Amino acid sequence: MNKKVYHQIAVALAIISIVLAVGLLVWGERGTIFIAIIPILIAGLVEQMGKKVK
């Protein structure tokens, strides 16, 4: 895979995380907001993997 694919995956995960965080806030589950952090962490790892690809 090339850098563009890794970047697109990272962006998609970030968008999912934002939607999840907003959904949890609206739903009223403030204690479970940390679940929305997980896709952001995965997106960061994917972005780092993309930087290592030529």
Q: What pLDDT is attached to residue 47? A: 86
What would the pLDDT profile of 12-43 be if each residue is shown by its tens digit? Answer: 988 988 888 888 878 776 667 777 788 888 88
State the pLDDT confidence band at 54, using cuts at 50, 70 and 90: low
Q: What pLDDT is attached to residue 30? A: 66
Degrees (nearest 5) of the Cα angle 51, 49, 16?
A: 110
Q: What pLDDT is attached to residue 22? A: 83
Q: What pLDDT is attached to residue 34? A: 76
Residues 6+ apart with CB under 8 A from 9: 43, 46
Q: For the full predicted model, state whether its pTM sits above 0.85.
A: no
Helix (DSSP H) and strand (DSSP E) numbers for the chain: 2, 0
